Amino acid sequence: MRLFQLCTAAALALALPALASDLTDAEVRKVDKDGARLTLKHAEIRSLDMPPMTMVFRVRDKAWLDAVKAGDKVRFKAANEGGQYVVTALEVVR
């Protein structure tokens, strides 16, 4: 049991920096609560092979829209779901 716990802890310690590096820096340009969308001016999104640009994303969780406003710096993860780009993780940079 102890070996399992050590292996699990080691795996998490290795995975957390990788997860953090999957996040992309961006600035919120517009929040559309009715449409559940964010306009973000973002850095390169490596996971999507996308260069820096400003574009509109749908959000997986509408509650995130209450936590941000235009001008906020954020870090996010996005995915292409059925041809639409969706923010799947979002954190405000303080």
pLDDT given for residue 94 in this prediction: 86
pLDDT given for residue 3 in this prediction: 53
Residue-range domain boundaries for the chain:
23-92
44 in Cβ contact with 50 (< 8 Å): yes
pLDDT given for residue 5 in this prediction: 52
pLDDT given for residue 1 in this prediction: 57
Question: Which one is the CATH code of 23-92: 3.40.50.450, 2.40.50.320, 1.10.8.80, 3.30.70.2740?
Answer: 2.40.50.320
In angstroms, rounded to a whole number, what is the distance separating the alpha carbons of residues 74 and 76? Answer: 6
- Which regions of the chain are under pLDDT 70? 1-21
pLDDT given for residue 21 in this prediction: 63
Q: Which residues of 56-90 are buried (b: 16+ CB within 10 A; e: fewer)?
A: ebbbbeeebbeebeeebebbbbbeeeeeebbbebb
